[in-house]
């Protein structure tokens, strides 16, 4: 038989170039990736042996028979190994994409072991092939063993892909199907149509290229800004280590001055700093990840290297980094995690590490391990986040009302609407736990609308005059106030509920965050509709009296800290503040009133019109508030 080897040479060139390219790129050593590289290596060896055996059969027919038998036996052994390698590679992909760790099972190798037995027996009876003075000849079992075995291994591997199809991206899945079909067709062509034309390996090589282009997309794992792997890569790599119960130690490094670096040096210079740190850390361990916002992770996998890695990272962090030819002031926090932390997944590890390393008060020593307390704190935070965002979307927002006492008529005349969130597991959640988060991500816009609509519904459903109420105070976040559409939205909602806006007083806390034009744009149309405005928490440093006096605010709310400090150490300053406010024509509400002495002083000496505090009531739910008003106010409402 004459062998046509031009396709085989092309196959070798393709496979060698593919192997060289794979080895030159930055990739994570996941099991599927390593199996893919092994498959390429087996294919290269298979082609080399096939070329050698074919050339000897053509050029040295009848000579060196022992060597030819060895080469042909090696060829079939490598072919069988290639088939099982493709099968196992597909199993590994399916497990990786399904979030499972792939362990070889004995039954995976049953067919492979059986074909190797037949190959060994062939040395004695020639049922697969023979080599004699007339050259290479196929045996009677060739057609019933070789191609069916190749198809069987590919079919078993494809079943794994089909079973995990919902977790595998369509691009990868269809590329694998196309590659398998192409391998099957080219193999069938050589086996049954042109046995002398070596093109089976061309099908395999091209198929491996197809899979490589779809599967080995390392760009998804790379953070080019820092020359490291990214968060996606961290999750993929650590998932495999956690599922496989493999030893590791992850060193987390947080640039504590990250926000300051951005402000001082700008994005480009900060990125250069991040790249310098990333490159330095990568020289220590190739598995370095830039996670986000100045947070790195370096993963060591050999227990003997843990101490050395920590020491070398410390050396890197102690180096001076020059920014625009000046040494930069960069500080770090460090933390570590290993298998003893018992994380279920890398997402949990990353969440706990981020929460712990960014605590306002950080007392851990360098690279101290994450503790059970850290994990517990992070789990509580995760539950809280889940609860508050679920509440906003599913009716878990509650409005509590804190009564405001009116000294001019000696009864409750208004109330402040305060937010709470209720969760079946966590119970009542207070604003300090969720308002800052909502303001950071914009949820405050939706949340504020929910609160406002609840207050409008309360006004609509209750006789305000009969309850003795002049208005309800509604807090507006600075984020809300920055929306140009807010005045129109508030008026539209009030009209939808059919209420008079004279029953609404809007509280603004951080007037410093808003320009005069923004304030007037917000306040003027609402005041025209009868609403009033107040400055909340005056005295905490957010509000400027001169500026406030130029805006159409009617009420100033004095922060409780001023009252409490005065009753701890009386001086002339606080009475002067009240006198100055009266002189400017503001109505005053003092917060934090808790004792009769405070009430008497506020009413008689400070001449404060309104009081709010636990002396009268803590914030209470709507039904309790109505009952409270009926008890306290109704006898006086007619007056």
Specify the range with the lowest mean pLDDT, choosing from 215-224, 485-494, 509-518.
509-518
CB 606 within 8 A of CB 627: no
State residue 275's pLDDT score: 92
Q: Is the confidence at residue 512, as pLDDT, over 60? A: no
The residue ranking higher by pLDDT, 282 or 550, is 282
State residue 216's pLDDT score: 77
How far is Cα 544 from Cα 361, in angstroms, rounded to an integer? 31
Terminal alpha carbon distance of the chain: 118
Q: Which residue intervals of 130-220 are DSSP H helices?
A: 142-163, 170-188, 200-215
Q: Is the confidence at residue 545, as pLDDT, over 80? A: no
Residue ranges of domains in the chain, CATH in brackets: 6-216 (1.20.1070), 220-370 (3.30.70.270), 385-637 (3.20.20.450)
pLDDT tens per residue across span 444-477: 999 999 999 999 999 999 999 999 999 999 999 9
**Which H or E run includes 369?**
none
**For the chain, how are helix, strand and coil distributed in percent, rounded to 5?**
60, 15, 25
Confidence tier at 639 by pLDDT (50, 70, 90)? very low
What DSSP character marks residue 75? Answer: H
How far is Cα 183 from Cα 176, in angstroms, rounded to an integer? 11
CB 521 within 8 A of CB 551: no
| Mean pLDDT, rounded, for 567-571 | 90
Q: Is the confidence at residue 543, as pLDDT, over 70? A: no
Compute CA distances 58 → 135, 339, 359, 466, 500, whole Å: 8, 58, 75, 110, 101
Confidence tier at 322 by pLDDT (50, 70, 90)? low
CB 558 within 8 A of CB 548: no
pLDDT tens per residue across span 474-494: 999 999 999 999 999 999 999
Q: What are the phi and psi torsion angles at 328 (to 5°)?
A: -80, 145
State residue 25's pLDDT score: 87
Q: 471: which strand partners?
A: 414
Average pLDDT over the chain reads 91
State residue 430's pLDDT score: 95
Q: Is the confidence at residue 76, as pLDDT, over 90? A: yes
| Mean pLDDT, rounded, for 605-613 | 96
Confidence tier at 308 by pLDDT (50, 70, 90)? very high
Q: Is the confidence at residue 288, as pLDDT, over 80? A: yes
| Mean pLDDT, rounded, for 360-383 | 89
Q: Is the confidence at residue 541, as pLDDT, over 60? A: no
Q: Is the confidence at residue 191, as pLDDT, over 70? A: yes
How far is Cα 401 from Cα 429, in angstroms, rounded to an integer? 15
Biggest CA–CA distance in the chain, Å, is 125
What DSSP character marks residue 190? Answer: I
Paired tokens of 361: 């008060």
State residue 26's pLDDT score: 87
- In percent, the amount of the chain with pLDDT more than 70 equals 96
State residue 1's pLDDT score: 62
């Amino acid at each position: 038989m004459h062998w046509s080897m031009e396709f085989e040479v092309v196959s070798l060139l393709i496979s060698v170039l593919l192997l060289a390219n794979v080895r030159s790129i930055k990739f994570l050593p996941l099991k599927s990736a390593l199996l893919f590289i092994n498959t390429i290596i087996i294919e290269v060896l298979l082609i080399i042996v096939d070329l050698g055996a074919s050339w000897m059969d053509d050029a040295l027919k009848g000579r060196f028979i022992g060597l030819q038998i060895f080469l042909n036996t090696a060829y079939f052994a490598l072919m069988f190994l290639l088939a099982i390698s493709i099968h196992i590679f597909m199993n590994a992909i399916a497990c990786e994409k399904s979030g499972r760790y792939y362990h070889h099972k004995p039954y995976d190798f049953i067919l492979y072991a059986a074909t190797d037995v037949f190959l060994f027996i062939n040395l004695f009876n020639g049922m697969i092939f023979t080599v004699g003075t007339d050259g290479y000849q196929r045996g009677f079992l060739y057609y019933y063993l070789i191609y069916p075995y190749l198809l069987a291994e590919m079919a078993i591997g494809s079943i794994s892909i089909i079973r995990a199809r919902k977790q595998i991206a369509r691009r990868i899945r269809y590329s694998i199907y196309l590659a398998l079909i192409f391998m099957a067709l080219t193999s069938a062509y050589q086996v049954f149509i042109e046995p002398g034309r070596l093109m089976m390996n061309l099908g395999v090589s091209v198929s491996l290229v197809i899979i490589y282009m779809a599967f080995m997309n390392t760009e998804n794992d790379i953070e080019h800004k820092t020359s490291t792997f990214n968060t996606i890569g961290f999750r993929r790599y650590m998932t495999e280590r956690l599922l496989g119960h493999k030893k590791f130690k992850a060193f987390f490094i947080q640039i504590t001055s990250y926000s300051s670096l951005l402000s001082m040096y700008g994005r480009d210079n900060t990125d250069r700093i991040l790249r310098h740190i990333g490159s330095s850390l990568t020289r220590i361990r190739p598995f370095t990840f830039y996670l986000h916002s100045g947070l790195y992770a370096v993963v060591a996998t050999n227990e003997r290297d843990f101490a050395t890695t920590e020491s070398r990272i410390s050396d890197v962090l102690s180096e001076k980094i020059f920014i625009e030819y000046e040494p930069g002031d960069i500080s770090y926090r460090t933390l570590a995690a290993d298998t003893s932390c018992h994380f279920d997944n890398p997402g949990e590890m990353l969440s706990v590490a981020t929460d712990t390393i960014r605590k306002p008060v950080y007392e851990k020593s360098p690279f101290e391990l994450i503790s059970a307390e850290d994990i517990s704190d992070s789990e509580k935070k995760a539950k809280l986040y889940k609860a508050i965002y679920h509440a906003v979307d599913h009716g878990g927002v509650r409005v509590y009302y804190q009564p405001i006492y009116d000294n001019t008529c000696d009864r409750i005349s208004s109330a402040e609407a305060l937010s709470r969130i209720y969760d079946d597991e966590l119970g009542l959640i207070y604003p300090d736990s969720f308002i800052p988060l909502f303001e950071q991500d914009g949820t405050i816009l939706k949340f504020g609308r929910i609160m406002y609509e609840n207050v409008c519904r309360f006004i609509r459903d209750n006789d305000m005059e009969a309850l003795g109420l002049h208005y309800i105070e509604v807090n507006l976040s600075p984020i809300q106030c920055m929306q140009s559409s807010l005045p129109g939205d508030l008026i539209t909602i009030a009209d939808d509920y059919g209420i008079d806006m004279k029953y609404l007083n809007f509280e603004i806390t951080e007037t410093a965050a808003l320009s005069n034009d923004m304030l007037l744009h917000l306040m003027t149309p609402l005041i025209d509709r009868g609403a009033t405005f107040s400055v909340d928490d005056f005295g905490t440093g957010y509000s400027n009296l001169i500026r406030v006096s130029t805006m159409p605010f009617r009420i100033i709310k004095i922060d409780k800290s001023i009252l409490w400090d005065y009753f701890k150490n009386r001086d002339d300053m606080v009475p002067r503040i009240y006198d100055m406010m009266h002189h400017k024509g503001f109505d005053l509400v003092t917060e934090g009133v808790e004792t009769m002495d405070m009430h008497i002083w506020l009413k008689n000496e400070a001449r404060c019109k309104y009081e709010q505090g636990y002396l009268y009531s803590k914030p209470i739910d709507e039904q309790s508030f109505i009952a409270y008003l009926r008890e306290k106010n109704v006898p006086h409402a007619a007056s």
